[in-house]
Amino acid sequence: VPVVDADVHCAVPSVETLYPYLTGHWPEFLRTSEIWKHHGGTNVYPEWSGMLATEGKAITLERLQTDVLGGVDAAILHCHYGVDSVQHPYLSNELQRAVNMWVRDEWLERDDRLFGTIAINPNYVDDAVAEIERAAEHDRFVQIALPVRSREEYGHPRYWPIWETAAKRGLVVALTYGGSGGQPPTAVNWMSSTYEDYVIATLNFAPQIMSVTVSGILAKWPALRIAVVESGWSWVPGFAWRMDAEWKASLREIPWVKEPPSAYVRRHFRFTTQPADLPDDPEQVADALEQLGNDEVAPHELLLYSSDWPHRYEHGVERVVASLTPAQADRVMGANALDWYGLGTRMQSLVI
Amino acid sequence: MTTIAEARTTEGHPPTLGIIDCDVHNSFESREEIDRYLPERWHGRPLVGGGGSGFAGLLGGIGPRTTNNRLDSTPPSGQRPASDVAFLCEQLLDGHGIVKAILHPINEVLRFSQSGELGRALARAVNDWQMQKWFAGDERLYAGITVPVEDTVGSVAEIERCWNAHPHFLNVTLPAITREPIGSAKYWPIFETAVDLEMPVVIHAGGWSGSLGGPGFPIYWTQIHCYHYMSHPVQLTSLVYSGLFDRFPTLQVVLEEGGLAWVPMLMWRLDRAWEEMREDAPHLERRPSEIIRSHLWFSTQPIDQPDKPQYLGRLLDQMDMDDRIMYSSDYPHWDFDDPARVLLKSEIGAERRAKILHRNALALFDFDRR
């Protein structure tokens, strides 16, 4: 059974890397501008943090091959470059295209075990859709990244063309850690530390899941598949109970939501395994896992194995696998991702 | 299907012990009643300061129901629900076997001005009203001290005034949405005063900072209502990280109207991030979950409704805070938790039920202060 790592990262080493992909005066503009020195991406993954550092110069394909690809059959690659933080509409469009071209040439083309995630600035929807259409012509781009800290929640009508394009193209939509929506991350404004920002990040994922679930997107495009990446999953059951309770109390407001929100979550969402916020007691880990599923959907169907490389954690997926049967573990370690991303049709070696 | 009366007999608390309700939302009967407690310059004037203006639809949404209250909670006088002392005591206390109730008038506390001259005048009006109408009206009623939270100087003065004025003020009540994270040094004098007077600080869902943060304003009311709990984990993270509990080792904080299901998951995340990001939290010597289990309390409403009833007991196992969870009804709101229908012995066992509905609140709040 193939093993698929559903979340590994690369990073653009420096803005100069992208110059060959930029058109017109943009390379010259960037060479003589200051803007990129205060880039959003470095705030999301600060270099001082042993856990989160995602330093472009240190992350090479060779290292990825040694650290990750030796042990897996395929990996889903993310390149967070903070294009969503660029307000300049034309520069933003240039940069998103350049990032995706660079990922294509330097990563996907150089190792056919890698599958890509399309970076976009979702706030300029027309350009984002055009870029998705362009990038997806390469058949190893299997996913679109939407960073969870957005300008508006992703169920907002302004973003629907992106969902429509994902559905039409059969691309997974990834909700990813970070983002530069320009708003404070919480209702009490900005936190005082990266530690706090990191801890409360799941509270940015939760509203995005609810927004997508109640917005009507999933009724309109029932084939949509969403990967919740780098958020953990142990908080999902409790949040689903809360959503279901609210739904019962507001059927009149959202009549297109025909089933409890948790049913949509279990049908349309999958969660990567790393990082996992789990209790110390293995029995309680098993409980948390059980509550992620229900009588219809087994919990191990909802998880996609991920290392989140090069981010470093003390514990990996082994704490989850310990409470699974070997057949269930095979689903988590690869078969689920194979199905979710349709990798089998794209990569013959992965067909079971 | 058991009737409510049957449920009370089989599942409910022995009446001799009596239930303590930690969160009841009494209300002014009218604008005229508030004005009776306000200086004349504010009579008839808008009670929302600059921060809350222009956001009504964003803040409250368009609720898909005719009222935010229990349909049977309008008193015979026809005034607003929970504005009539006798009717509230009859319906809530006598009707549900509740022997003591703590009043938090959130409509007034959370939606009104939290700073400036108006903020001070409103806090004073609310607290005077609590004493003159509610404490005088029934000795089973207690309350939190309402403060203009963004005005620290005004808050400290109001806390001291109220504490001296009446022993039925049991806590300092803050909104869960503040303009800065609640661990910010700006708010420390409020906590310090509460500690000096040996009162817990209650942080109650709601409030207004100008933003709901994260991905922007939710579109539907169901989301707005669902997200009410979300400032609790944020404020708890801030409280832990701030070092407030090292500075004030006897400080006890209650998080109200946020439910419970998010608590264990947050503790797991705080602990893991603490282990893996020590570079950013070198001042935290204790594991965050240990800090939480020593300083935090939770009220139960809206009690979580898991897919299977036995998950509630497992949730309490995961929290491991049996001595720090307290029943609240949220009367008179529509999502009121009837003590005969929630936290049943069949779900959580008799011992836990007794602690949550009665004993824990007695341990935290000084109901016998004179």
Per-residue pLDDT of A33-54, as tens digits, reads 876 654 544 567 777 788 888 7
DSSP letter assigned to residue B133: I
C-alpha of B254 from chain center: 7
Could you give the 3-state DSSP secondary structure of residue B148?
coil
Q: How far apart are the C-alpha atoms of A216 and A214, rounded to whole Å?
A: 6
Predicted pLDDT of residue B109: 61
Q: Is the pLDDT of residue A231 over 60?
A: yes
Q: Is the pLDDT of residue A95 over 50?
A: yes
Q: Is the pLDDT of residue A93 over 80?
A: yes
Of the pLDDT bands very low, low, confident and very high (cuts 50, 70, 90), residue B66 is: confident
- Count the neighbouring beta carbons within 10 Å of the beta carbon of residue A138: 17
Q: Which of B48-57, B283-292, B336-345 has the lowest mean pLDDT?
A: B48-57
Q: How far apart are the C-alpha atoms of B193 and B201, rounded to whole Å?
A: 10
Distance of CA A339 to CAs A212, A228, A346, B285, Å? 21, 16, 11, 45
Predicted pLDDT of residue B5: 44
Q: Is the pLDDT of residue B13 over 90?
A: no
Please, which residues 35-64 of chain B have a Cβ atom closer than 8 Å to chain A? 62, 64
Q: How close does chain B come to A114, measured CA to CA in Å?
A: 28
Nearest alpha-carbon partner for B47 in B34, B60, B36, B33: B34
Determine contact: A239 vs chain B, CB below 8 A: yes
Predicted pLDDT of residue B60: 56
In this prediction, residues A12-27 reach a mean pLDDT of 93
Of the pLDDT bands very low, low, confident and very high (cuts 50, 70, 90), residue B86 is: very high
In this prediction, residues B122-138 reach a mean pLDDT of 97
- Counting one residue from A and one from B, how many pairs have CB atoms under 8 Å apart? 222
Phi-psi region of A199 (alpha: psi -120 to 50; beta: other; left: phi over 0): alpha
Q: Which two tokens stand for residue A128?
A: 């984002």
Q: For chain B, what percentages of helix, strand and coil (3-state, to nearest 5) are there?
A: 45, 10, 40
Predicted pLDDT of residue A352: 47
Predicted pLDDT of residue B61: 62
Query: How do residues B165-201 score in pLDDT, each as one tens digit?
Result: 999 999 999 999 999 999 999 999 999 999 999 999 9
To probe the interface with B, which of A156, A180, A233, A242 has the most B CB atoms within 10 Å?
A242
Residue A244: list chain B partners with CB under 8 A: 305
Predicted pLDDT of residue B57: 52
Determine contact: B352 vs chain A, CB below 8 A: no
Q: Which two tokens stand for residue B190?
A: 């409020």
Q: Is the pLDDT of residue A131 over 90?
A: yes
Q: How far apart are the C-alpha atoms of B97 and B13, rounded to whole Å?
A: 8
* Sheet with strand A4-10: strands edge to edge: A4-10, A74-79, A114-119, A141-147, A172-176, A226-228, A269-272, A303-304
Long-range contacts of B209-213 (CB under 8 A, 24+ apart): B209/A187, B209/A188, B209/A189, B209/B51, B209/B177, B209/B178, B209/B179, B210/B51, B210/B55, B210/B179, B211/A183, B211/A184, B211/A187, B211/A189, B212/A187, B212/B58, B213/A183, B213/A184, B213/A185, B213/A186, B213/A187, B213/A188, B213/A189
Query: How do residues B198-247 score in pLDDT, each as one tens digit?
Result: 999 999 998 888 777 788 888 898 998 899 899 999 999 999 999 999 99
Nearest alpha-carbon partner for B275 in A288, A203, A198: A198
Query: How do residues A53-87 score in pLDDT, each as one tens digit?
Result: 877 778 899 999 999 999 999 999 999 888 998 88
Predicted pLDDT of residue B49: 60
Q: How far apart are the C-alpha atoms of A303 and A313, rounded to whole Å?
A: 18
Nearest to B305 among A51, A241, A287 (CB): A241
Nearest CA in chain B to A191: B181
Nearest to B180 among A189, A204, A278 (CB): A189
Query: How do residues A251-298 score in pLDDT, each as one tens digit?
Result: 999 999 999 999 999 999 999 999 999 999 999 999 999 999 999 999
Of the pLDDT bands very low, low, confident and very high (cuts 50, 70, 90), residue B47 is: confident
Q: Is the pLDDT of residue B15 over 70?
A: no
Determine contact: A178 vs chain B, CB below 8 A: no
Predicted pLDDT of residue A351: 53
Determine contact: A296 vs chain B, CB below 8 A: no
Q: Is the pLDDT of residue A146 over 90?
A: yes
- Residue identified by tokens 């109390």 is A249
Q: Which two tokens stand for residue A214?
A: 């109640």
Q: Is the pLDDT of residue B10 over 80?
A: no
Q: How many Cα atoms within 13 Å fall on the side-chain side of residue A132? A: 27
Of the pLDDT bands very low, low, confident and very high (cuts 50, 70, 90), residue B305 is: very high
Predicted pLDDT of residue A35: 65
Residue A53: list chain B partners with CB under 8 A: none
Q: Specify the higher pLDDT residue, A350 or A32.
A: A32
Query: How do residues B247-257 score in pLDDT, each as one tens digit?
Result: 999 999 999 99
Query: How do residues B335-369 score in pLDDT, each as one tens digit?
Result: 999 999 999 999 999 999 999 999 999 999 999 99
Q: How far apart are the C-alpha atoms of B123 and B113, rounded to whole Å?
A: 9
What is the pLDDT of chain A when averaged over all its residues? 92
CB contact under 8 A, B214 and A207: yes
Q: How many Cα atoms within 13 Å fall on the side-chain side of residue A334? A: 17
Q: Which residues, other chains included, contact B310 with Cβ-Cβ below 8 Å and sequence gap of 6+? A: B347
pTM: 0.94
Length of chain A: 352
Provide ipTM, 2 decimals. Answer: 0.95
- Count the neighbouring beta carbons within 10 Å of the beta carbon of residue B47: 20
Please, which residues 122-161 of chain A have a Cβ atom closer than 8 Å to chain B? 148-156
Predicted pLDDT of residue B134: 98
